[in-house]
Amino acid sequence: MLKKITALFISAVMMISLAACNNENGEVQDSGEQSSSSSSGEVSGESGDSRVYIEGTDFYVGGKKIWFNGVNTPWDKWNDFGGGFDYDFWDTHFAQLKEAGVNATRIWINCNGLVGVLINEDGSFGSVTDKHWSDLDSLFELAEKHKIYIMATLLSFDHFKDSNQGYQNWRNMIQSSDNIDGFVDGYVIPFVKRYDGNDYLFSIDLMNESDWVFENQECGQISWDNISNLFARCAAGIHENSDVLVTAGMGIVKYNSDSYEGNKVSDEYLKKLSGNENSYLDFYSPHYYDWQKQWFGYPFDKAPKAYKLDGTKPAVIGECVARDDKDPLAQRYENAYDNGWNGVFAWTSNGIDGCGGFDDVKPAAQHMLEKAKNMIFPNGN
């Protein structure tokens, strides 16, 4: 936590869903040379005044609160990093986002586990390709250039689906503590060590909508003890080796709250599974789509605690549909801001499915920039 302490000292002196939108994607086979699990060196970047940290239930940068005027840019090409990464797309799109007033985006680093990060058939860690790392080096270089904060989503329920060629490898990984530890040591820790010096990697989202890994037969109906054990061990590895924040993008609040099926990512549960005090999430990021409303309510018109989160951590809405004529996105962002949410990340900024694209998120982002510019760009940039 050295950089957090440094940032506080300086400031004192200076005073969900893919499932909801039915997107279909082809599976791309792995390409690029493989590297050993320890081959990734640290990548330099500016660090200090731009680092996001937490006090109480708020995010801060340089002693000032920040609100995430966010979007999802989950992929340009399915499995970008180690696959068909397009530098010009990300450079241009980040520039568009910044000009519109967006300060953060959520990106899927691994879409289904067939490209870049390889797991053996028995679930043990395999390797990371050199191209995966080099593509990510470019991504984070561009994030720093355009000052766009990244929520990096490492895994998705897609890894575990029957239709995914490597699904059994990932199911074998998540159901073994030894295999999980191998994944953490071979990939998660090298990832955060490599990019910890870049303040624009503000958080790791451990898995996109793990709810479906538990609920859906096509994803294996794996127990929460196994899923959350993965979260616990990943979170400990991240906290022990970086200042990067940790979350888990739950598809529904049902599994993120003691008011329903139990909070499967609570501090108590994660620490119990791993036996490690560093196993915890730094903030919550549940997803919301309108089909959920009849069972779990509507998050935008109430505070996170009233939405049945525990009120102990910052909370953002990690996904919501960008295009909805009956419920304008600008109004949802404003209501979330007024009700104490720490940010909203609409799905998506680049139109990868029928849920919306840049023309839908731009007016909402600009509206919020007019309302809360000092919270969106607290450093004035």
Write the pLDDT tens digit of every residue in 238-268. Answer: 999 999 999 999 999 999 999 999 999 999 9
> What does the mean pLDDT of the chain come to?
91
Residue 26 lies in a domain: no
Give percent above pLDDT 90 in the chain.
86
Residue 248 lies in a domain: yes
Residue 33 lies in a domain: no
Helices (H), 55-115: 87-100
* Residue 196, number of CB atoms within 10 A of its CB: 20
| pLDDT computed for residue 41 by the predictor | 57
DSSP 274-305: H--TT---SSB--B--GGGHHHH--GGGS-TT
| pLDDT computed for residue 350 by the predictor | 98
- Collapsing DSSP to helix, strand or coil, 239 comes out as helix
Residue 69 lies in a domain: yes
For residue 30, pLDDT over 60 is answered with: no
The label of the residue with tokens 């007024």 reads 338
For residue 23, pLDDT over 90 is answered with: no
Residue 370 lies in a domain: yes
- 11, with CB counted inside 10 A (0-12, 13-18, 19+), is middle
CB neighbour list of residue 301: distance below 8 Å, 6 or more residues apart: 335, 339
pTM strictly above 0.85: yes
For residue 10, pLDDT over 70 is answered with: no
For residue 2, pLDDT over 50 is answered with: no
Give the pairing of strands 52-55 and 58-61: antiparallel
What is the rounded distance in angstroms from the CA atom of residue 290 to the CA atom of residue 57? 26
- The average pLDDT across 73-102 equals 98
CATH number for position 360: 3.20.20.80
For residue 6, pLDDT over 90 is answered with: no
Q: pLDDT tens digits, residue range 323-368?
A: 998 899 999 999 999 999 999 999 999 999 999 999 999 999 999 9
Domain count of the fold of the chain? 1
How close are the terminal C-alpha atoms of the chain, in Å? 25
368 alpha carbon, distance to own chain's centre: 21
For residue 94, pLDDT over 90 is answered with: yes
Residue 34 lies in a domain: no
Q: What is the span of the domain harbouring residue 95?
A: 2-16+41-376
Higher pLDDT, 7 or 113: 113
CB neighbour list of residue 39: distance below 8 Å, 6 or more residues apart: 128, 130, 133
Residue 187 lies in a domain: yes
* Residue 380, number of CB atoms within 10 A of its CB: 7
- Collapsing DSSP to helix, strand or coil, 70 comes out as strand
**Cα angle value 93/319/223 (rounded, 5°):** 125
- Collapsing DSSP to helix, strand or coil, 163 comes out as coil
Residue 36 lies in a domain: no
| pLDDT computed for residue 12 by the predictor | 38
